[in-house]
Amino acid sequence: MKKIFLLVLLPIATTIFAQNKLTVESGNLNFLKGQTEVNVERNYGSPLFQAENFTETEYLERRHKETVAKKGEEAWKKWIDIWEQHAETIWTEKFIEGLNKSKKIKFTQNVETKYTLIIHPKWMYAGWSGFIMQPGKLSSEITIVETANPSNVLATIKGDKIEGSGSKVDYGMEYGRIAAAYEKTGKELGKAIKEALK
C-alpha cells in the first residue's frame, strides 16, 4: 500500500516542482508605466511538442494515426480542423485573455501602440484527461519591443513549462489543455507587470 501511495505522490510532486516558472531574462518592465494599451503579436515559429520534442508535423502525424485507428477519418478531419483554429487564433486569444486579468494595461492585437509584446512558443505539452488529469504546459519566450523600432528589445521573459489550470476551456482535448497553458502564461505575465507598475 505504501508503494502505491508513493507512486501516486511522485508524479504530483514532480509536477508541482516543474511548473509555472516565469523569469525576466533581460531588461525590466518599468518602462510600461503610464501605458494604457500594448499591442500583442505571436511569432509561432517551429515549437516542439511533448517530452520527446516532436516537431509539429511529427506530433500531428502520430495523432492522425491514433485517431484514424480508433475513430476513423471523419473524426480526424473534425479534430484537425479544431486544432488549426486553436493554433491560428485561439491560443493567442487565450494568452491575451490571461494578460488582461491584471487590468493595469489593455493588451490587444493589431493596434498602433508604443510597445509591442511578442510571444514565441518554444515547447508545448498536450497533457491528458481521464481519472487523473495532466494539464497542458507551455514554454515560451516573450519579448517586448518598441513598435517603431522592433530591434530595440526592452525586455525578454522566459516561461518554463507553465501549466494550464484554472481556465474555463475544454480540458477533454489536447488543444483545450494547451489553450489553458497559454492563458496561464498570460495571467502570470500580467501579475509580473502589475507588480512592476506599483
Give the HSE-up count for residue 1: Cα atoms under 13 Å, Cβ half-sphere: 0
Q: How many CB atoms lie within 10 A of CB 157?
A: 23
**Span 116-155, pLDDT tens digits:** 999 999 999 999 887 788 999 999 999 999 999 999 999 9
Between 19 and 42, name the one with better pLDDT. 42
Q: Report whether pLDDT(14) > 80.
A: no
pLDDT at position 7: 43
Q: Is residue 36 a contact partner of residue 106, using CB atoms and an 8 Å limit?
A: yes
- The whole model's pTM is what? 0.88
**What does the block give as the cell for 167?**
481556465
**Span 77-118, pLDDT tens digits:** 999 999 999 999 999 999 999 999 988 899 999 999 999 999
Q: Tell me the average pLDDT across 150-172.
A: 89
Q: Report whether pLDDT(11) > 60.
A: no
